[in-house]
A = this chain, B = another copy of it.
Amino acid sequence: MTVRLRIDLAYVGTEFHGWQVQPGLRTVQGELARGAGRLLGREVLPVGAGRTDTGVHARGQVAHLDVAGAAEAERLVRALAGTMPPDLAVTGVRQVSPDFNARLSATSRRYSYHLLLGRDLFRPHCWQLDGDLDRTAMDRAAADLVGAHDFTSFCKAASLKDDGNVCRVDVCRFDWPADSAILSAVLHVRANRFLHHMVRNLVGTLVEIGRGRRPADDVPAIFAACARSRAGGMAPPQGLVLEEVQYPGRLLDPAWREPAAPGARSPEGESP
């Protein structure tokens, strides 16, 4: 009997060409497939919650994978973590409902984006910014991003979906350091879905506001324009971390079966 497994993952994205398998390139999905395939003795391809881009990190990536029964499941639970390279950690393997889909079942995702307000060679996983930022203006603009909006202006143009670009952002908030000796600031963003490059484009725009190159109240006009060119540049990948993916609790129960066919599919899955 087929058993569906949920696999939790953390990785430093620096040395990966993103999540998705690509011929001849080192990817997270590829390393995970290699490790699981070695234990199962056949080719497999785990499905991930989000296709993080090259250089993007994760503490809470989720994948699912079907195996042939309890013995195979037990083998992965016991040994999958040990097959991973040093920059990729399997933090959990557990059986879930056959209706659990790491990508399509997700109800929200949470990302963090790390800014370095100065120089520190020992903090490579940040966007290093020189000069002062207007934190009040950035907080104001971050608050304007909360809610259900059409995020077309913040989406890579070639990736727009047929089913609309409205996302419901329920958290968009900076944690600023209280002490000027602490150089790191973090933007936390949680939403029901993300469009391609959305977080990095939000961050790029917020930093332009913080540098005074855009007004603090620019966000509503950017939304209204529905044009990528109206928003700011894209922040670099090394500051972005996929922190957590949320699922309906019932799908985490191995015995659960959905009573009917799943509803409309989420267009989720690309790196924001």
- A33 close to chain B: CB less than 8 A: no
Total interface residues on A, CB under 8 Å, equals 13
Number of copies: 2
List residues of chain B with CB within 8 A of the CB of A125: 122
- Interfacial chain B residues near A86, Cβ < 8 Å: 121
Asked whether, in the complex, the Cβ of B122 is within 8 Å of the Cβ of A57, the reply is yes
- Residues in B neighbouring A11, C-beta threshold 8 A: 121
Chain A window 101-125, contacts with chain B (Cβ cutoff 8 Å), 1 for yes, 0 for no: 0000000000000000001011001
Whether A89 lies near B119 (C-beta < 8 A) is: yes
Q: Which one, B12, B119, B121, B122, contacts A121 given CB within 8 A?
A: B12
* Residues of A bordering B, CB below 8 Å: 10-12, 57, 59, 86-89, 119, 121-122, 125
A-B contact pairs, 12 of them (CB 8 A): A10-B121, A11-B121, A12-B121, A12-B122, A57-B122, A59-B122, A86-B121, A87-B121, A88-B121, A89-B119, A89-B121, A122-B125
The 6 closest A-B pairs by CB, nearest first: A12-B121, A10-B121, A89-B121, A122-B125, A87-B121, A12-B122
